[in-house]
């Protein structure tokens, strides 16, 4: 088994911190961090409920913030760390923004568009390919998701 680089673990821990913050706001616990030259330039968590915006996923918000930080829509040389495999919207945003590398924690068998349902970031028909690393701190990310949805189901059944 290949060893995970320490930088990937460090930055994924930051993304997990953002995911926990999302859960505190009753948002689906997904967190994202974007780095450039090994330094964090953007962090975000899901904000769909807070902003009443179905597109306000952690990855999309982080990509927008990173573009503002760099002053360019192209995120060449950037790595996006996200706790859960991106959906179609967010995988598309990775391609469109030219993110160089995507590192994610756990797979999303229902919505994942990187390896689970689709392979958007590695589709050679597109004009940009994203290097993909999966499984970094996957157990922690999956545990956060499971706990969140278990709590949500319990509160719904108590109504």
> Among 3, 27, 59, 142, which one carries the catalytic annotation?
59
Residue 59 annotated to the active site: yes
Given a contact cutoff of 8 angstroms between Cβ atoms, the answer to whether 33 and 18 are in contact is yes
Q: What CA–CA distances, in Å, run from 62 to 33, 56, 146, 154?
A: 7, 10, 23, 31
Report H helices in the chain: 6-24, 48-51, 58-70, 88-96, 138-157
Interacting residues of 134 by C-beta distance below 8 A, sequence separation 6+: 85, 103, 104, 105, 107, 114, 115
Residues annotated catalytic, as ranges: 59
């Amino acid at each position: 088994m290949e060893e995970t680089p320490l930088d990937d673990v460090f930055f994924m821990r930051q993304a997990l911190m953002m995911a926990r913050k999302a859960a505190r706001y009753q948002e689906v616990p997904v967190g994202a961090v974007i780095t450039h030259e090994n330094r964090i330039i953007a962090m975000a968590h899901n904000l769909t409920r807070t902003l009443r915006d179905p597109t306000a996923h952690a990855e999309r918000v982080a990509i927008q913030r990173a573009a503002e930080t760099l002053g360019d829509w192209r995120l060449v040389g950037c790595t996006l760390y996200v706790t859960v495999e991106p959906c179609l919207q967010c995988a598309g945003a990775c391609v469109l923004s030219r993110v160089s590398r995507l590192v994610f924690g756990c797979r999303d068998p229902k919505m994942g568009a990187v390896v689970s349902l689709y392979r958007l970031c590695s589709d050679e028909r597109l004009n940009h390919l994203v290097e993909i690393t999966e499984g970094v701190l996957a157990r922690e990310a999956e545990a956060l998701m499971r706990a969140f949805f278990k709590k949500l189901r319990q509160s719904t059944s108590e109504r």
